[in-house]
Structures are given as C-alpha cells and as structure tokens.
Amino acid sequence: MSHSPQTGGIVAARLDSAELAAHFDDLYPAFDDHEARVAADRCYFCHDAPCVTACPTAIDIPLFIRQIQAGLPEAAARTILAQNILGGMCARVCPTETLCEGACVREVAEGAPVEIGRLQRHATDGLLLANEHPFERAPATGKRIAVVGAGPAGLACAHRLAMLGHTVVLHDARPKAGGLNEYGIAAYKAANGIAQAEVDWLLRIGGITVQTGSALGGAITLDALKADHDAVFLGIGLAGVNALRIPGEDLPGVRDAVDFIAELRQTADLSTLPIGRHVVVIGGGMTAVDAAVQSRLLGAERVSLVYRRDRGAMAASDYEISHAATEGVTVLTNAMPVAITGTGTVEAVEFAYTREGATGLERTGETFILPADQVFKAIGQTLAGAPEGLTIDGGKIAVDAAGRTSLAGVWAGGDCATGGEDLTVTAVAQGRDAAEDIHAHLTGAAG
Amino acid sequence: MANLTSTFVGIKSPNPFWLASAPPTDKEINVRRAFQAGWGGVVWKTLGEAGPPVVNVNGPRYGAIWGADRRLLGLNNIELITDRPLEVNLREMKVVKRDYPDRALIASLMVPCVEEAWKAILPLVEETGADGIELNCGCPHGMSERGMGAAVGQNPDLIERITRWCKQTTRMPVIVKLTPNITDVRLPALAAKRGGADAVSLINTINSITSVDLDDFAPEPTIDGKGTHGGYCGPAVKPIALNMVAEIARNPETADLPISGIGGVTTWRDAAEFLTLGAGNVQVCTAAMTYGFGIIKELTAGLSLWMDRKGLTSVEQVTGRAVPNVTDWQYLNLNYVTKARIDPDACIGCGRCFAACEDTSHQAIWQKPDRVFEVNDAECVACNLCVNVCPVEGCITMERLAPGTQDARTGKTVEAAPADWTTHPNNPMARAAE
Ligand SMILES: Cc1cc2nc3c(=O)[nH]c(=O)nc-3n(C[C@H](O)[C@H](O)[C@H](O)COP(=O)(O)OP(=O)(O)OC[C@H]3O[C@@H](n4cnc5c(N)ncnc54)[C@H](O)[C@@H]3O)c2cc1C
Ligand SMILES: Cc1cc2nc3c(=O)[nH]c(=O)nc-3n(C[C@H](O)[C@H](O)[C@H](O)COP(=O)(O)O)c2cc1C
Ligand code: SF4
C-alpha cells in the first residue's frame, strides 16, 4: 500500500488489494440451498399477490418461490426468466424495497418482507452459472429487426424477438454490450463479472448479431436502419449529462459521476484507480449515491453527498441513503453548489443553504465551504443522440403503451423513452413489450 | 406448586414422563443419563427370548419428514427389538433400578406367542427388581413377520391370551402396548382388559413409507437399493394417537382402564393434552431422540406451570378432564351457529382466506378494493378453513350468533335450545320429539 486515505490529492491505492477486493465483493452473498428454503418458506403464496403487481415485469413471484420451496430452483428460474430475461441482474440491482418487497404483506405486517430479490438470485444464478439457456427459438419468420442500444431495454427486446423467430442485429456504441449493467451499476451489486456472463448467456438464444462500436448518428443512421430492416427498436438510454453551470466546473478534478463509475467498472485492478482524499458528490439520485459509496470503498477519507432539496425529495431510496450513511458517506441536504474553487485544480466547493420558498427553491443567504480534491457531478442524465424526426416529450422519446414512437416502424423503450421509472427492470419490461408489439405488427396480429 | 409425582398402576415416579421403549432406553448408559436429567421412568428397550439376539440392518434405520428449517416433524424407523443379549440387558436393568429406586423401570417384552416363552422370561425380569412389564404388541416391521409385535396386536384373541399368561405368572403390573395399525383401537384395548391387563399404552409406530428416492426409485431409508415400510412416530402422529387414547377413555367398557399415552409428545402441552384425554402418564421417544434428554426440564416446568395456572394440584386431577367433552358427531349442537370474522386491523391482506374459501369452500369471502377481505354471512357455513389458513394468529375468529338473531345463510332465527342430528327432521332415524 503506497498511500492511505489521508494522502492528499487524487491518488491510487489508498487501500491494499485485499481490502479493495472485500469492499467490492457482493453486497449480499448468495443464499445456499438451505437458507433459500427457509427464506422461501416465509412466503404466504398470497392470492392476487401484491408483489407481482409491484414488479414492473410482473414475475409470478409466489409461484417461483413455491418452486424453490419444492426443491426445484431451475423451475423457479424459468418462471422468472420467462417474464424478465435479465432476472439475474434485476435480482441484484432492483430497489426491491420500493418494488416487490415493499409490497410484500410481511413488510406491511412485520417490516420484514420475504427476501424476494435474494430468492430470485438463488433461482437464476443456477442456470446462469451453468450457462444453461432454457428458451428456444420459434421457426424463423424471415423478418429482420435492428435494435440500437445493448442495455437492458435493447437486450430484452432482442431476446424476445429472437425467441419469436426473428433475426436481430444489436448495435451499441460502446465496446461491450450490457449498457449500464456493464458501465453503470455499482460494482458491489454486479460483482464477479455477472453483467457480461448474463449477456453471453442471453445471447445463447441465437439469432442475435451484436455489433459493438456501432453508433447511431455515427456510422449508422435511422433511415438506413429502417431501409434495411422490418422494424427498429431504440434503447439508447440517457447518454448525456446535465451541467452545473457554476464557476470552476471545468477545473481539473471535477468530473461526471457516470464517467467515474464507468471507469471503475472497467478497471480490473482497483488499486490502480485514483480517488480523492476529500470527495464531494453533487446530486441526490442513485448515481450520486453509487459514486459516493464507491469513493469511500476506494479509500477516500471524507465523502460528502450534497443535495439541493430535502431528503424526502431525493431520488435515491431511503434504503440506498442509509446504506451510504453506513459506508461513512456524509449526506447533506438543502445545499446547492455556487462555485468550485481552486488554483490549477479543485480545492473546495462553496455551497448555499436552501429552503422551499413560495416560488420554489430559494437560498437562505447562508453559505459554507467543503474542501475537495475531487468533485463528482451527478445531477441527472439526459437524452443525447436521438435521431431527428421523433417526437420528444419531457426530454424523452415519446412512446405509447406498446413502445411505438411517432415514426412508423420505430419503437423505443428504457431510459430513453417516456413512461416508468429509470430502472433496469423497467427497461426490461419495456424492451420485452415492444418486442411483442413488433412481432404482432410484423405477423399481422396487431391493429 | 403443582405436585407432578405420578402413580401409574401402582408404580411411582417423580413425574409422569417416561421414556418409551426404544433406543433411548436400550442400554444402561442411556438410562442413567436419562435419570440424571430428571426423567420419571423408562420402559426398557424391548427384550426378546434368551439365546442369540435379533439382528438389525447395517444400513440406515431412519427416514424423516422435515419442515423448511429442518425441524423434524415425523420419523420412521426399521429397527427391531434390542439386539443385545438378554442377560446383558437384565444385568444392567438390575443395577440401574438399584441405583435409582425412586424411578419407574418397566421391562418391555416380546417373545413368541406360546405360553412357555412368556413363562420363561417373566421370572428373569422379576429378578431385576423392575416395577412392571409392557407387552410389545406393536412393533410393525420385522418382528410382526415372525408372528410377534403388531401381528399379535392386530389379533385381539392373541392379546387376551398373552396378557392372561403374564397375569397368571407374575405379580408385576402388566401394561399392554397397542399398535395403531388396526381399524378400531377399542377392540384390542378391550381384549387386553379381558386378559387382565392393568393398563394399556399407545400408540406404537404407524406403518409408513416416509419418502421415495427419485433417482433410485426406492423407498427411504434405502438399503442397497431396497426399502421396507417402517414405523412412523414424532409430532406428525400426535393427532392420531390422541384420538385413539380418547376412544379408549370414553368407551364405557374400558373407561376404567389406565392409559399410558404415547405418540408425538414433544412439549408439555402435548403431554397435557394426552392427560386430559384420559392418559395417566405419557411416554416420549422421538422428542428425546431429536433433542436429547434435556427436554425433560421444559416438559416438567411447563406442565407444572400450566397446572398452577389452572389451579390443578396433581396429575390425577388432569387425567381425563376433557373426556366428557369428546362425543359423537350426532350429538353436536346444530343450533350453535357461528360466522367467520376478519379483524381488519390485524389483516395483512395476503388473501389466503379468499383463495381458500373461493376455490375450495363456499365463496363466502369478498375481496373489496385495496385488498380488504370481508365475510359474506349469507354464504359462510362456518367451516373455519379461513381461520386455519390465515397466517396471522387471531386475525380471523369464529363468532357465535346470539340466539334470536337471524342466520343470513339459512334465513332462520338462531334458537337458544340445543338440537342435534338425532332429532333433526332430515334424519330418517330421528327420534320423535317427546
Ligand atoms: C450509476 C447508475 C446506477 C444505477 N443503479 C441502478 C440500480 O441499482 N438499480 C436499477 O434498477 N437501476 C439503476 N440504474 C438505472 C439503470 O441502470 C437504467 O435504468 C437502465 O440501465 C436503463 O436501461 P436502458 O437499456 O434503457 O439504457 P442503458 O443501460 O443506458 O443502455 C443504453 C445503451 O445504448 C447505448 N447507446 C447510447 N447511445 C447510442 C447510440 N447513439 N448508438 C448506439 N448505441 C447507443 C449505450 O452505449 C448503452 O449500452 C442506475 C443508473 C446509473 C447511471
Ligand atoms: C427407533 C425406534 C425404535 C423403537 N423400538 C421400539 C421397541 O423396541 N419397542 C416398543 O415397544 N416400541 C418401540 N418404538 C416405538 C416407541 O416406543 C413409541 O411408541 C413411538 O415411537 C411413538 O412415540 P414418539 O412419537 O414419542 O416417538 C421404537 C421407536 C423408534 C423410533
Ligand atoms: S368459515 Fe368457511 S365458509 Fe365461512 S368464510 Fe371462512 S372459509 Fe368461507
């Protein structure tokens, strides 16, 4: 260990490799068979179960848990994956406390829900790790569909289309498929290369050609795709980021949180990844929390997460915020950055206290300064690179319930499209449903 | 504090908990440990004739049923009677009884169904100072194929005969242990009484196959690819045993026959239930085999505390207390009309009552918006299924309709006076109202 958390500036190796490995291992270790059966036994097999309604992909949760109880996690995996082909990743990353587990009657009754997420992981890991793909393709339809963006939305769409017998070309601008599963999700939620393992497993359905490094707006255009294919699905996520628009934003040491996280996810040896001693993260969503927590896990001595409104308005769930606090992140609310200062490199951030006024957020007049070697901006991602001609609504590609855009033959889903929260599971649901609609459309079953 | 001392057919023990004849009582070392732990008595593992002892299988003897967290719910065994020489067992019984004179020590016996065999073994047992004998008419495997155990227990004439031989030969009290593998347990009990038995004990184990190995297609426990039925015991058999005990206790012909209650006794409560249904004491096997002898402290402390709360001072006061309330279906009060009531504050909205009633009962539960579940009195037949499937204790209860109110299902006014099937107009055999 060449450095410590107290070393000034932005340096690598604040912690030794063993500590780093422990910090970035699975947040929740997998259940063993016995633990899974005990956890499964807590499920009441509710009638018209509220957890199913709360799951954006509507997995038949009581059924899959009963299948675990009955000693066949493989059968449980099929139940899950039939609804949600990225069930393995969702089991790890879904904010279950606000989704299925939040709706569990035992959460309501005792504050201790059935551990649906971990059970889902128990079921799906078996098939995933054995690289056993349980689905087969329908007879070929002869239809070709272009899917742009190999994130959860694009992958779910491509898989369902391939299963229905269509041929899919999956384009992504990045060097690897997976979208934010590969480049965004916190490392300790997707430990041990699960994101790529899941992509590889998913592609075993066949009929999907992946073209990475292939950007819409770069080498390919929507018109060309439309001309060569029977349908196009856009799952391009939110590739842009919001700017702070305050002095000092361009100082070295100030960076977009999503870039930092992407670099972290792609760094094989985390002892080579530099991190500041005093890190300030600006924002209140999942990205801000993940950047802050992972800064601490890398060995930053002091990490402050600063959000301009009150805690109730933060997009990150209570659970995520208390996890950040447990990891030693200081969460400050009702404070907005007014300037980033430093000579040659960032040295501090000046904040103004805020309150909710008659006309919205207003400054109280009081300010404070936080020392900072490194500042991460996490104040929201934006749609970037959406092709011309699509109707945009509230910064997203406008789609109807079936995922159809304003252009005939073009569907969209996931973070780039309207409807639903920006979550992995929502993207999967939208990609899957768009695929079903494309299929209905191409086979003449849709109006 | 309640006095737990027990006198069963004249045999005294400091508490009414005996270890049943089984592996826990097969050797001096086990029995000494049991007495040190506080058990009131033991029925020594069944002794056979003098000469070469029986042999046991050398593969697994047990199969089991578990709850999700491996709580053992039912156990099945294919063990035979003691496989140690008779003299060894007798010698050990003698020294243990000498060292623990205040504890009950009963010899369980199973010899061929001929008078000489019984007459030969009884003096040897008497010599040990044992307090009594238990005739094993129940072992359901191995021994029954040789005309002993359950083969005797399933034939009332044989039961009567061997009981009589024993009573004629020994001064020791004779307890006849009954098998549940029969259709009407009152018949063997009566046969034992006719033979002069001082008491019956029941139940021995129930014929069973606990599971099948789905790779080898063989019942478990599997011995070299084959399996055989075993005897089932443990918590799962308690309801069956309770009923059999009650049947004997409430049969006028055997009502005065003392009963040692056996089958699934696991906690003080199980024991109390056996006692109230007519048992004078209880015997325990599987619970001790699962948790060790230490459970005796919970059994005695629990029974004693419960008796204190009820103002009962002796075991005799508990014995048979529920027997008068065990009756035949035809005497149940048909004017006792109840309806299910769901407490909305306790309800957690799982909807199991709805699924149960809608799918498998009487469509008497409404699912209202926001997962509110309510009983429709016009359909509720008061079956109680919803109460049993509800995961929240006390959330659904059965409420009695007061006499004079109307039952929305039948449209009839609930009557105050009881009436049962014997006088019901639909009963072709109904006695004319006086
Ligand atoms: C830091 C972070 C943490 C998160 N944590 C969680 C979490 O814990 N749980 C959760 O449920 N959700 C989480 N989310 C949200 C979740 O990751 C997204 O909702 C989800 O990935 C959306 O899937 P998608 O397929 O719509 O988009 P993405 O996953 O963003 O995938 C879009 C893909 O399109 C590609 N692309 C973009 N533009 C082009 C183009 N012009 N040409 C070709 N390809 C293009 C991108 O390279 C990318 O691969 C997190 C998000 C972030 C940023
Ligand atoms: C392994 C095993 C061996 C048994 N051997 C005998 C026996 O030799 N003689 C006998 O009368 N009963 C025998 N039994 C039956 C028990 O004494 C008892 O009647 C039965 O197990 C029910 O009680 P429980 O539910 O407390 O176990 C045996 C039971 C078990 C589990
Ligand atoms: S008691 Fe039976 S019939 Fe009545 S509501 Fe409950 S389940 Fe339905």
B240 and B362 within one domain: no
B189 and B169 within one domain: yes
B179 and B117 within one domain: yes
Structural contact between residues A289 and A316, judged by C-beta atoms closer than 8 angstroms:
yes
Enclosing domain of residue B348:
329-433
Q: What is the pLDDT of residue B432?
A: 57
Euclidean distance between CA atoms B112 and B370, whole angstroms? 69
Q: What is the pLDDT of residue B139?
A: 65
- CATH T-level assignment (fold) for domain A17-24+243-377: FAD/NAD(P)-binding domain (3.50.50)
Contact between chains at A105 and B348 (C-beta distance less than 8 A):
yes
Euclidean distance between CA atoms A138 and B315, whole angstroms? 73
Which mutation among A185, A225, A261, A433 tests ligand 1's pocket best, with the greatest number of atoms within 8 A of CB? Answer: A185
Contact between chains at B349 and A50 (C-beta distance less than 8 A):
yes
Euclidean distance between CA atoms B339 and B414, whole angstroms? 12
**Taking CB atoms and an 8 Å cutoff, what residues of chain B touch A106?**
348
| HSE-CB for A49 with a 13 A CA cutoff | 23
Euclidean distance between CA atoms B275 and B323, whole angstroms? 10
Beta bridge partners, B213, equal B218
Compute CA B327 distance to the chain's CA centroid, rounded to the nearest angstrom: 19
- B137, B139, B353, B386: the active-site residue: B139
**Arithmetic mean of pLDDT, B184-203:** 98
Decide: residue A330, CB within 10 A, 0-12 exposed, 13-18 middle, 19+ buried. middle
Distances (CA, A) of B261 to A81, A235, B23, B30, B306: 52, 71, 18, 22, 19
- CATH T-level assignment (fold) for domain A144-239+383-442: FAD/NAD(P)-binding domain (3.50.50)
Query: Residues in chain A with pLDDT < 70?
Result: 1, 446-447
Architecture of the domain defined by A33-130: Orthogonal Bundle (1.10)
Rama region for A441: left / alpha / beta (φ>0; ψ in -120 to 50; rest): alpha
The CATH number that applies at residue B404 is 3.30.70.20
Structural contact between residues B154 and B114, judged by C-beta atoms closer than 8 angstroms:
no
Would residue B133 count as lying in a domain? yes
**Arithmetic mean of pLDDT, B33-40:** 98
* SS3 label, residue B76: strand
Q: What is the pLDDT of residue A1?
A: 55
Structural contact between residues A355 and A364, judged by C-beta atoms closer than 8 angstroms:
yes
Q: What is the pLDDT of residue A194?
A: 94
Would residue B44 count as lying in a domain? yes
Would residue B313 count as lying in a domain? yes
Residue spans of the domains in chain A: they are: 17-24+243-377, 33-130, 144-239+383-442
- A218 or B6, which is more confident: B6
Euclidean distance between CA atoms A176 and A328, whole angstroms? 33
> Terminal CA-to-CA distance of chain A, rounded, Å?
65
Tokens in use for A247?
């002095």
Structural contact between residues A170 and A211, judged by C-beta atoms closer than 8 angstroms:
yes
Instruction: Kindly tell me if the per-residue pLDDT of B188 is higher than 60.
Output: yes
H helix count then E strand count, chain A:
17, 19
Would residue B242 count as lying in a domain? yes
B10 and B128 within one domain: yes
Would residue B226 count as lying in a domain? yes
Last residue of some domain: B325, B347, B369? B325
Distances (CA, A) of A255 to A57, A147, A304, A352, A377: 34, 31, 15, 21, 6
Sign of the Cα torsion A60, A66, A69, A70 reads negative
Decide: residue B324, CB within 10 A, 0-12 exposed, 13-18 middle, 19+ buried. exposed
Closest-CA distance, A422 to chain B, in angstroms, reads 27
Cα radius of gyration (chain A)? 23
The number of domains in chain B is 2
Closest-CA distance, B296 to chain A, in angstroms, reads 28
* SS3 label, residue A339: strand
- Helix residue spans in B38-127 (DSSP H): 86-99, 115-127
Euclidean distance between CA atoms B93 and A62, whole angstroms? 56
Q: What is the pLDDT of residue A28?
A: 83
Tokens 């990609």 found at: A431
ipTM: 0.85
pTM of the model: 0.90
Rama region for B88: left / alpha / beta (φ>0; ψ in -120 to 50; rest): alpha
Instruction: Kindly tell me if the per-residue pLDDT of B138 is higher than 80.
Output: no
Q: What percent of chain B has pLDDT over 90?
A: 93
Beta bridge partners, A392, equal A397
**Residue A148: CB within 6 Å of ligand 1?**
yes
Last residue of some domain: B274, B294, B325? B325
Euclidean distance between CA atoms B59 and B44, whole angstroms? 24
B297 and B357 within one domain: no
- Give the pLDDT band of residue B430 (cuts 50, 70, 90): confident
Tokens in use for B185?
């347990």
When CB atoms are compared, the residue of A37, A40, A47 closest to B355 is A47
Last residue of some domain: B325, B359, B393? B325
Q: What is the pLDDT of residue B148?
A: 78
**Arithmetic mean of pLDDT, B195-210:** 97
List the Cα angle B152/B156/B161 in 5-degree steps.
75
B264 and B166 within one domain: yes
Instruction: Kindly tell me if the per-residue pLDDT of B433 is higher than 70.
Output: no
B384 and B242 within one domain: no
Average pLDDT taken over every residue of chain A: 95
B334 and B321 within one domain: no
DSSP string, A203-272: HTTS-EEEEET--BTTTB-HHHHHHHSSEEEE-----EE----STTTTSTTEEEHHHHHHHHHH-S-GGG
Structural contact between residues A122 and A204, judged by C-beta atoms closer than 8 angstroms:
no
Residue located nearest, by CA, to atom 41 of ligand 1: A216
pLDDT tens-digit readout, B221-230: 999 999 999 9
Mutate which: A35, A104, A105, vs B, most B CBs within 10 A? A105
Euclidean distance between CA atoms B231 and B200, whole angstroms? 19
**Residue B357: CB within 6 Å of ligand 3?**
yes
Domains A17-24+243-377 and A144-239+383-442 in one fold: yes
B185 and B94 within one domain: yes
Euclidean distance between CA atoms B374 and B366, whole angstroms? 5
- Give the pLDDT band of residue B431 (cuts 50, 70, 90): low
**Taking CB atoms and an 8 Å cutoff, what residues of chain A touch B350?**
44, 46-47, 105
B412 and B319 within one domain: no
> Terminal CA-to-CA distance of chain B, rounded, Å?
50
- Strand stretches in A102-230, DSSP E: 144-148, 167-172, 208-212
Would residue B1 count as lying in a domain? no
Instruction: Kindly tell me if the per-residue pLDDT of B146 is higher than 80.
Output: no
* SS3 label, residue A33: helix
CB atoms near residue A347 (< 10 Å): 17
What length does chain A have? 447
Contact between chains at A37 and B371 (C-beta distance less than 8 A):
no
Structural contact between residues B196 and B163, judged by C-beta atoms closer than 8 angstroms:
yes
Structural contact between residues A169 and A229, judged by C-beta atoms closer than 8 angstroms:
yes
Distance B401 CA to ligand 3 centre (A): 15
Compute CA B155 distance to the chain's CA centroid, rounded to the nearest angstrom: 21
Strand A278-282 to strand A302-306: parallel, antiparallel, or no bridges (unpaired)? parallel
pLDDT tens-digit readout, B249-270: 999 999 999 999 999 999 999 9
Q: What is the pLDDT of residue A132?
A: 87
Contact between chains at A106 and B371 (C-beta distance less than 8 A):
no
